[in-house]
Amino acid sequence: MNDRTLYRLQDIIEAIDLIDGLLSDVAFEELYHDTTRRAAFERFLEILSKPHATSAMN
């Protein structure tokens, strides 16, 4: 595994941990109405869904 892959996996793990902390004990309605929390959640999802560019290079 190259350094880029390891860095990407660390980003994914961190995003999962951040989502877990952000959503713990939060009801959907609360998340829906809290625009700051919802924006953070959306950003962490973007990190998770970002394509893994190195796979095309290997």
**Per the domain annotation, does 58 fall within a domain?**
no
pLDDT tens sequence across 6-16:
988 998 899 99
Total of domains in the chain? 1
**Per the domain annotation, does 57 fall within a domain?**
no
- Residues 1-5 have a mean pLDDT of 87
* Sequence-ordered list of residues with C-beta below 8 angstroms from that of 52, at least 6 positions apart, any chain: 5, 8
pLDDT of residue 54: 46
**pTM, two decimal places:** 0.72
**Per the domain annotation, does 44 fall within a domain?**
yes
- The two structure tokens encoding residue 33: 């109405």
Q: Range of 7's domain? A: 3-52
**Per the domain annotation, does 48 fall within a domain?**
yes
pLDDT tens sequence across 16-54:
999 999 999 999 999 999 999 999 999 999 988 877 554
**pLDDT of 58 above 90:** no
**Per the domain annotation, does 25 fall within a domain?**
yes
